[in-house]
């Protein structure tokens, strides 16, 4: 995660928090003042870094500052609620992530409806997770892992960063599709020391957090969760190669309060997509362990709705609940 923090410190140095006004002068001249990007995660986190990078790019191209406003809490729901309640004038954006589509089902009493209250703009980047196991586990391939898990039901401990987290639901999707029984072990802090020592045997982790251990043979990668193989781990198969149809990626996109003028959404979408398509931006994202992703607004809307439906099925299958 050091690469995230270096980029955060560099980007944060150039960011200034300015007052946000609440009225739109005209869609044609947008933006005429600073734009707020709400991030439901702490400063220095992966989503925060992506938001600051996007804000820098948008500011350079649209001539106004795009200022990150961190509002962590309740699994990112506090920030999402703030965005949902904001004036739909184009001066509030929300960094949307895969967690939003999980939370739509995971939390029963939300004060907002993510699909109804947040209008999609576009996607910017994605990242695969890695199915990583402790080297002491006898399984050397994904198929061997499934066979071992079926022969030893309930004896494999699956670590995650918390109930309902991406690493949790990604693992539950694997359990559902592969037909295996593993014990979920949620952590409030870093679970990697226990994975390295063999106290837990498997996790589904963001690529940047485990790739160093994999390169040093301290962890064994059995698969990546994207539909195809990843350039960072070209010899590691996609999980879909031994669990047909499996896919689970982390992603970063943008939304705005529902009711925001279409002209503004189009401006943001075109600017973000054009930037992400540039070689320098692709290289920057790749250096952070991310794959550039560009979508039209209708494509992103369809993608978000499909993700929400998929994770709803997983949450119900696994009977995941939060207090």
- What is the per-residue pLDDT across 226-258, written as a single tens digit (0 to 9) for each? 999 988 899 999 999 999 999 999 999 999 999
User: 88 and 228 share a domain?
Assistant: no
Answer whether residue 6 shows pLDDT above 70: no
CATH number, residue 235: 3.40.190.10
Q: Identify the pLDDT of residue 288.
A: 86
Domain boundary among 205, 222, 241: 241
Task: Give percent of the chain with pLDDT exceeding 90.
Answer: 83
Q: Identify the pLDDT of residue 3.
A: 40
Q: Identify the pLDDT of residue 22.
A: 33
Answer whether residue 322 shows pLDDT above 90: no
User: How far is the CA of 306 from the CAs of 57, 257, 299, 301, in angstroms?
Assistant: 28, 20, 11, 9
- Burial pattern 105-123, b for ≥16 Cβ within 10 A else e, equals bbbeebebebbebbbbbbb
**Is the four-CA dihedral 267, 300, 164, 194 of positive or negative sign?**
negative
* In-domain check, residue 149: yes
User: 237 and 253 share a domain?
Assistant: no
**Is the four-CA dihedral 220, 224, 230, 235 of positive or negative sign?**
positive
Range of the domain at 38: 2-127+249-318
User: 163 and 312 share a domain?
Assistant: no
Work out the pLDDT band at 19, boundaries 50, 70, 90.
very low
Which is more confidently placed, 21 or 45? 45
User: 221 and 143 share a domain?
Assistant: yes
Give the lowest-confidence range in 143-147, 162-166, 262-266, 306-310.
162-166
Q: What is the pLDDT of residues 76-116, one digit of tens each?
A: 999 999 999 999 999 999 999 999 999 999 998 999 999 99
Chain-centroid distance of CA 143 in Å reads 27
Work out the pLDDT band at 206, boundaries 50, 70, 90.
confident
Tokens of 43: 């400063």
Domain boundary among 215, 241, 267: 241
User: 12 and 119 share a domain?
Assistant: yes
Angle (deg, nearest 10), helices 262-276 and 46-62:
100
d(CA 51, CA 69): 10
Backbone φ and ψ for 126, nearest 5 degrees, come out as -140, 165
User: 115 and 74 share a domain?
Assistant: yes
Q: What is the pLDDT of residues 191-204, one digit of tens each?
A: 999 999 999 999 99
Q: Identify the pLDDT of residue 188.
A: 87
User: 13 and 161 share a domain?
Assistant: no
CATH number, residue 298: 3.40.190.150
Domain boundary among 223, 241, 259: 241
* In-domain check, residue 323: no
Q: Identify the pLDDT of residue 27.
A: 52
Query: What are residue 129's DSSP bridge partners?
Result: 206
Q: Give the H/E segment covering residue 317.
A: helix 297-318
User: 167 and 304 share a domain?
Assistant: no
User: 193 and 233 share a domain?
Assistant: yes
Mean pLDDT, the chain, rounded, equals 91
Task: Give percent of the chain with pLDDT exceeding 70.
Answer: 91
List the one residue out of 221, 231, 228 whose CA is nearest residue 131.
221
Which is more confidently placed, 25 or 122? 122
The answer to whether residues 317 and 176 touch, using CB atoms and an 8 Å cutoff, is yes
Q: Identify the pLDDT of residue 208.
A: 82
Work out the pLDDT band at 15, boundaries 50, 70, 90.
very low
Mean per-residue pLDDT, 149-159? 96
Work out the pLDDT band at 181, boundaries 50, 70, 90.
very high
**Per the structure, how many domains does the chain have?**
2
The model's pTM is 0.84
């Amino acid at each position: 995660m050091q690469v995230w923090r270096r980029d955060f410190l560099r980007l944060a140095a150039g960011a200034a928090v300015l007052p946000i006004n609440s009225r739109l002068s005209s869609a044609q001249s947008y933006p005429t003042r600073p734009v707020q990007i709400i991030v439901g995660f702490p400063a220095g986190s992966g989503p925060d870094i992506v938001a600051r990078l996007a804000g820098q790019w948008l500011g350079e191209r649209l001539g106004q500052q795009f200022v990150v406003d961190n509002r962590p809490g309740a699994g990112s729901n506090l920030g999402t609620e703030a965005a949902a309640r904001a004036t739909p004038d184009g001066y509030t954006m929300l960094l949307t992530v895969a967690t939003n589509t999980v939370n739509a089902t995971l939390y029963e009493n939300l004060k907002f409806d993510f699909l109804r209250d947040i209008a999609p703009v576009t996607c910017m980047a994605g990242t695969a997770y890695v199915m990583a196991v402790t080297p002491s586990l006898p399984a050397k391939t994904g198929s061997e892992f499934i066979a071992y898990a079926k022969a030893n039901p309930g004896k494999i401990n699956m670590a995650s960063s918390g109930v309902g987290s991406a690493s949790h639901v990604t693992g539950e999707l694997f359990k559902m599709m592969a037909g295996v029984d593993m014990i979920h072990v949620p952590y409030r802090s870093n679970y990697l020391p226990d994975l390295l020592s063999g106290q837990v045997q498997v996790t589904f982790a963001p690529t940047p957090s485990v790739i160093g251990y994999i390169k040093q043979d301290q962890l064994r990668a059995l698969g990546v969760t994207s539909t195809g193989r990843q350039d960072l781990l070209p010899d590691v198969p996609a999980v879909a190669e031994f669990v047909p149809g499996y896919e689970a990626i982390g992603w970063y996109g943008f939304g705005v309060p529902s009711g925001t003028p279409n002209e503004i959404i189009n401006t943001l979408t075109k600017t973000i997509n054009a930037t992400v398509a540039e070689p320098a931006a692709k290289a920057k994202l790749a250096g952070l362990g991310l794959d550039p992703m560009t979508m039209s607004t209708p494509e992103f809307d369809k993608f978000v709705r499909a993700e929400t439906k998929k994770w709803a099925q997983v949450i119900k299958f696994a009977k995941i609940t939060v207090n």
